[in-house]
Amino acid sequence: MLTKVNNTDVDIRYFLDGVQRAVHHATGFVGKPMWVIINLQMEGSSGAPGPSGNTTFRARNVVISHT
């Protein structure tokens, strides 16, 4: 959830399963673009190299809102 604090700053509140987990005070964010990255790690500590072909990752119930 984005909350405008003043003419230049916003608070970004992060929720997981309806519970607020963190708040980030973003200085100078008003009027600037914001990118959301949803990352699915496919390899690494599992010991396997991951898929060798096309892979689809679907994200449900992702909401970005502002107040």
Stated pTM of the model: 0.59
DSSP characters over 15-61: EETTEEEEEEEETT-TTS----------SSTTSS---SS-------S
Q: How far apart are CA 17 and CA 48, in angstroms?
A: 30
Measured between alpha carbons, how far is residue 16 from residues 3, 4, 63 in Å? Answer: 17, 21, 11
Is the pLDDT confidence value at 67 over 70?
A: no
Q: How confident is the model over 9-42, as pLDDT tens digits? A: 999 998 888 899 999 999 999 988 888 888 776 6
What pLDDT shows up at residue 1? 86
Domain ranges of the chain: 1-32
